[in-house]
Amino acid sequence: MSQLRPLLSRLGAQAVRLLATRDILERSWHSRSSGSPAAFPSSPGGGSSSYMEAMYLAWLANPQSVHKGSADASWAASMGHPASPALSRLLLASTRRPQSWDSFFQKASQEAPRATPEGRPMPSSPTTNSKLVEDHLAVQSLIRAYQIRGHHVAQLDPLGILDADLDSFVPFDLITTMDKLAFYDLRETDLDKEFQLPTTTFIGGSESTLSLREIIRRLESTYCQHIGLEFMFINDVEQCQWIRQKFETPGVMQFSNEEKRTLLARLVRSMRFEDFLARKWSSEKRFGLEGCEVMIPALKTIIDKSSEMGIENIILGMPHRGRLNVLANVIRKDLEQIFCQFDPKLEAADEGSGDVKYHLGMYHERINRVTNRNITLSLVANPSHLEAVDPVVQGKTKAEQFYRGDAQGRKVMSILVHGDAAFAGQGVVYETFHLSDLPSYTTNGTVHVVVNNQIGFTTDPRMARSSPYPTDVARVVNAPIFHVNADDPEAVIYVCSVAAEWRNTFNKDVVVDLVCYRRRGHNEMDEPMFTQPLMYKQIHRQVPVLKKYADKLISEGTVTLQEFEEEIAKYDRICEEAYGRSKDKKILHIKHWLDSPWPGFFTVDGEPKSMTCPPTGVPEDVLTHIGTVASSVPLEDFKIHTGLSRILRSRAEMAQKQTVDWALAEYMAFGSLLKEGIHVRLSGQDVERGTFSHRHHVLHDQEVDRRTCVPMNHLWPKQAPYTVCNSSLSEYGVLGFELGYAMASPNALVLWEAQFGDFHNTAQCIIDQFISTGQAKWVRHNGIVLLLPHGMEGMGPEHSSARPERFLQMSNDDSDTYPVFTEDFEVSQLYDCNWIVVNCSTPASYFHVLRRQILLPFRKPLIIFTPKSLLRHPEAKSSFDQMVSGTSFQRVIPEDGVAVQAPGQVRRLIFCTGKVYYDLVKERSSQGLEGQVALTRLEQISPFPFDLIAQEAERFPSAELVWCQEEHKNMGYYDYISPRFMTILGRTRPIWYVGREPAAAPATGNRNAHLVSLRKFLDTAFDLRAFEGKMF
């Protein structure tokens, strides 16, 4: 033993050097590389080495240097090796199998009889042992190098001209040529030496030792062929081991003849579908899949495999490329329904403006032919805006999981398909990844498939991204990334099957990167040779994958040429017959393309069951009960903050006096809906407490870490669940998510609150492309509610305006048409609009509009500009009387004060909306003008309450009409209300503007300037001569 020490301390330095080199290499994951690895001819193993001894020596030098994993696998084999006497003593002393080398050697050392003082000399020389240990460590490093960096030299590009990682650098620790062995201090003569394999590799299969030559050959075939694996950045050892086992185990990628024939048949469908469209409509845009036909069998494999593991519902999101093919061959939309869309004379049967064929969604329940189980597939409709659908799909998936009680995602999952340029370039991809592991947003893993055709429109990836791969964004959530050459269908299928298994084993995201090419231009009309001449010369030479694979199967005897040709003819016939039928279709029913049907909510024709809305008030005892719970702590021994106790006490007092402030009104609205079985979900930044510290829907025990209580979930024994969740700091991702959540069912109130209304503009795409236009494009209703804190309160250019003008500009009610006031005008007007925009001035108003959202017989997005200072304004309170049964939302709150007693005396009628009302009331009172100036509030701005505004104007016939707003003239509501007033008034009376002057920024950054401008417009509002002699 004593003689071993000096040797090992010497050896230790070398071992440490090797290990250190390995660590440095691991950290340099992003080095870009490629190249063709040299071939290592396989030969039977040569000499044998004592791995056990080497491990022991290394352990003596540094216990950390031997791996911690189980030593069981190599134990039996090691026992056959000759060991030094010192080691033999240890081995004999050890009666049990080792759990890890470290614990094993520790135990063995304790149990071993001490060596005699004189000791017996080691049979092997220090130099031999040193080399032995060094070589084993080197081989371990080498294995690890392949696991980490093998993908850099994998042959991923079917064109053979590009580097998938954008770099031709070849990592110097991969043995692509013989001279690389020197990096590890190994020589060619070591190639036939046998090495014990560490537990961190599975290349040995049932063998625990392999020759170095075979080790390199197997590593190369796992990591450097048509599959490139990126996973070693994952922190979880079990997950790394799982992946290593799936890919390294010899013989894992073997397919039965049946599987090969299925794969071929799927490729036939994929390819012949595109061919068929190209033949029939050669000059039509369809964003064909040519060059990545393998995506169809890829998706089908993920679906089959997931179905096999119990998944019953899959929600898909994808962009333009290959979408028609997916509809036809994955979702199984009737072919004639797809083909008839190419007919320009096709008329739409549904209202709305419709959308292009490669944006429409679809929902289909069917039997999965491989597993014989039921499966529901839906493809979510999406706009052109790339990747915008990602969070929407996640939200819908989450909701479907929620309604099924599938908290673990065992029944419902999502698949997202991406383009390479969009995946790398669009920030919402990152925002969506960051939702993937948050408790209230996780969908328990998504399988991402990237159609990496190595181009985005006309832009080369070198100009489109700074990361080696387009998929690097997925690394932020430790998702494994499987790159695969799309011209190797079997490799693709294997990778997809592992990806599905990964998702269903670990409930985490995974990425399949299909490295492919784009046979044509960006669309079928585009000339790619303008910009990518050399790439396209190669593409023109490229043999289609179907031919390559068919040739392979024919040559190996799996199918005959005749069978292959029959398969093609069969599918071509299916297409031709469907084409024949499609010509009879004259009408397009967009309703047949719904991605989220709501069974039972509409009539069978998809119409609302009525055009009425019941009163939105609730019985007094319900309000009282909610008031009690909202001001209490339903859990025993739960210590809340003293400040919060005060808040709850004041809530209790309010409830006793039968009044509510904003927060309590919201409680009443949510609580009463929950009682009626309506699920409520409120999401956004800091919504649990409320940005303005007014809500407090989640109570935190001040003494027990992470002990919380949501009183809203303690209201009634059989109430629906309430979810309130602070979101990640994302607007685009989270609003998209909630929109998707709201898509799944009409029987839920889903609200997204912006921290301040200003910030909604980073989610503008969701607002423009989905919320404002969704129904018109996709006949899909959505009742999402946006709460947008808004108000000019001297807080500066931001934190002030939710930009009401933008929402109003996108409202589709006609400013110039005086509507017919039918009995159901109030509700039918809501039905006809694209969204509802309100600015409530009282808590009761807010309460009613939230409840109306659910009591309406259809769903419309609701935009609410919510208050900040009004949350605590002593006047901004409502009484139970305004909320009890029989009461309803008032679209307009008319003047009901002194002015009403003598309407003929009223000289000015000021219309306004929201918070400015309180400033106007105060000013009117301070000037004593109650009899001369009437104030009328618009609670609902859009659709415009033509009927009620007309009534108000008539009530005060001799009054001057004024629109007063606190926003600047080119903002706020003026541009929206002005032409509508003109329509009502027939241009006989003007509507004068009072408010802040036009400006570029929504608010001043100077508090004094803010107050001055407030003073100025209040003065004008009550200056009864302000408009004297002015023309309109």
Ligand X SMILES: Cc1ncc(C[n+]2csc(CCOP(=O)(O)OP(=O)(O)O)c2C)c(N)n1
User: Does 528 help bind Mg ion (rule: CB under 5 A)?
Assistant: no
Q: Find which of Mg ion, ligand X, none residue 321 binds, CB within 5 to 8 Å per kind.
A: ligand X
Cβ-count burial 883-896 (b if 16+ within 10 Å, e if not) = bbeebbbbbbbbbe
Least distance between Mg ion and beta carbon 459 (Å): 9
Tracing tokens 């007007």 back to the chain, one arrives at: 829
Nearer to ligand X, 514 or 941 (CB): 514
CB of 450 to ligand X, least distance (A): 9
Q: Choose among 3, 46, 8: nearest CA to 134.
A: 8
Cα distance between the two ends of the chain:
107
**Is the CB of 389 or the CB of 611 nearer to ligand X?**
389
Q: Which of 421, 833, 849, 929 binds ligand X (CB under 6 A)?
A: 421
Which residue among 321, 780, 908, 1010 contacts ligand X (CB under 6 A)?
321
Q: Is 884 helix (H, G, I), strand (E, B) or coil?
A: strand
Residues 963-1002 that bind ligand X (CB under 6 A): none
489 touching Mg ion, by CB under 5 A: no
Q: Which does 781 bind (CB under 5 to 8 A by kind): ligand X, Mg ion, none?
A: none
Cα–Cα distance measured from residue 743 to residue 1009, given in angstroms and rounded to the nearest whole number: 44
Identify whether 943 is preceded by a cis peptide bond (ω within 30 of 0): yes
Answer for which of 453, 747, 845, 940 binds Mg ion (CB under 5 A) is: 453
Using the minimum distance from each CB to ligand X, give the nearer residue, 275 or 513.
513
The residues in 331-390 that bind ligand X, with binding defined as CB under 6 A, are: 384-386
> Where does this chain touch ligand X (CB under 6 A) — which range of 207-215, 417-425, 747-755, 1010-1018?
417-425
Closer CB to Mg ion, 159 or 663, in the complex = 159
Spatial separation of the C-alpha atoms in residues 923 and 721, rounded to whole Å: 45
Query: According to DSSP H, which parts of 358-434 are helical?
Result: 389-403, 420-425, 427-433
Residue bearing tokens 């309430």 = 722
Tokens of 712: 């809203």
| Cβ-contact 390, 377 below 8 angstroms | no
Of the two residues 32 and 385, which places its CB atom closer to ligand X in the complex?
A: 385
> What residue has token string 């585009």?
526
Residue closer to ligand X (CB basis): 524 or 805: 524
Q: Which of residues 545 and 744 has its CB atom nearest to ligand X in the complex?
A: 545
- Report phi then psi at 134, rounded to 5: -60, -45
* Of residues 165 and 190, the one with the C-beta less far from Mg ion: 165
CA torsion sign, 79 to 83 to 87 to 93?
positive
- Cα separation of 226 and 158, whole Å? 9
User: Interacting stretch for Mg ion, rule CB under 5 A, among 447-455, 479-487, 533-541, 937-945?
Assistant: 447-455
Q: What are phi and psi of 430, to 5 degrees?
A: -65, -45
List CB contacts of 792: < 8 A, sequence separation 6 or more.
Answer: 800, 801, 966, 967, 996, 1003, 1010, 1014
The CB-of-292 to ligand X minimum distance in angstroms stands at 8
**Closest distance between ligand X and the C-beta of residue 732, in Å?**
11
For residue 863, the minimal CB distance to ligand X (Å) is 23
Which run of H or of E encompasses 253?
A: none
Q: How far apart are CA 163 and CA 176, in angstroms?
A: 16
Q: Where are the alpha helices (DSSP H) in 880-1028?
A: 916-927, 946-955, 974-985, 1007-1022
Least Å distance, CB 431 to ligand X, is: 14
Is the CB of 320 or the CB of 891 nearer to Mg ion? 320
Comparing CB distances to Mg ion, the nearer of 516 and 784 is: 516
Cβ atoms 451, 483 nearer than 8 A = no
Q: How far is the CB of 509 from Mg ion (least distance, A)?
A: 21
**Site for Mg ion (CB under 5 A): which residue of 420, 509, 666, 939?**
420
Only one of the segments 437-445, 451-459, 530-538, 696-704 lies at the binding site for Mg ion (rule: CB under 5 A); that segment is 451-459
Is residue 453 a contact residue for ligand X (CB under 6 A)?
Answer: yes
Looking at beta carbons only, is 25 or 516 nearer to ligand X? Answer: 516
- Name the residue nearer to Mg ion (CB basis): 401 or 454: 454
DSSP per-residue string spanning 120-131: ---SS-HHHHHH
In 495-582, the DSSP E strands lie at 510-515
- Which residue from 150, 291, 456, 690 is in contact with ligand X, where contact means CB under 6 A? 456
Task: Tell me how many residues contact ligand X (CB under 6 A).
Answer: 15
Residue range at the interface with Mg ion (CB under 5 A); choices 146-154, 407-415, 416-424, 949-957: 416-424
Residue the block writes with tokens 């320009």:
344
Instruction: Cite the DSSP H helix spans in 1-99.
Output: 4-27, 51-61, 72-79, 85-93
Stretch that binds ligand X, among 298-306, 454-462, 691-699, 739-747 (CB under 6 A): 454-462
Verify binding: residue 422, ligand X, rule CB under 6 A. Answer: yes
Q: Of ligand X, Mg ion, none, which one sits near residue 678, judging by CB under 5 to 8 A according to partner kind?
A: none
> Residue 553's Cα: distance from chain center in Å?
39
Alpha helices in 718-870 (DSSP H): 732-743, 764-766, 774-778, 804-809, 825-832, 843-855
Question: Whose Cβ is closer to ligand X: residue 100's or residue 764's?
Answer: 764
Residue number, 682 or 765, with CB nearest to ligand X:
765
Nearer to Mg ion by Cβ, of 453 and 769: the residue is: 453
For residue 649, count CB atoms less than 10 angstroms from its CB and return exposed for 0-12, middle for 13-18, buried for 19 or more: exposed
Is position 419 an interface residue for Mg ion (rule: CB under 5 A)? yes
Structure-token pair, residue 644: 């919060």
Q: Give the contact letters, 67-96, x = binds to Mg ion (CB under 5 A), - = no.
A: ------------------------------
Q: Which stretch binds ligand X (CB under 6 A): 455-463, 600-608, 868-876, 923-931?
A: 455-463
Question: At its nearest, how many Å lie between ligand X and the CB of residue 342?
Answer: 20
* Of residues 291 and 409, the one with the C-beta less far from Mg ion: 291
CA distances from 317 to 560, 666, 733, 800, 914 (A): 37, 34, 14, 35, 39
Minimum Å gap between C-beta 102 and ligand X is 48
Minimal distance, residue 421 CB to ligand X, in Å: 3
Q: Kindly indicate which of the ranges 451-459, 480-488, 570-578, 872-880 contains the residues binding ligand X, using the contact rule CB under 6 A.
A: 451-459
Q: Of the candidates 169, 172, 183, 457, which one interacts with ligand X according to CB under 6 A?
A: 457
Q: Given the complex with Mg ion, which of 322 and 711 has the nearer CB atom?
A: 322
Least Cα distance to 289 among 316, 261, 319 occurs for 319
Cβ density class 115-148: b for 16+ within 10 Å, e for less = eeeeeeebeeebeebbbbbbbbbbbbbbbbbbbb
Q: Which of 535, 485, 510, 517 is nearest to 154 (CA)?
A: 485
CB half-sphere exposure, 865, CA atoms < 13 A: 32
Q: Is 286 in the site for ligand X (CB under 6 A)?
A: no
Interface stretch with Mg ion, choices 243-251, 456-464, 761-769, 998-1006 (CB under 5 A): 456-464
Does the footprint of ligand X cover residue 417 (CB under 6 A)?
no
- CB of residue 520 vs Mg ion: minimum separation in angstroms? 12
Number of residues that bind Mg ion (CB under 5 A): 5
**Footprint of ligand X (CB under 6 A):** 321, 384-386, 419-422, 451, 453, 455-457, 518, 522
Sites of contact with Mg ion (CB under 5 A) = 419-421, 453, 456
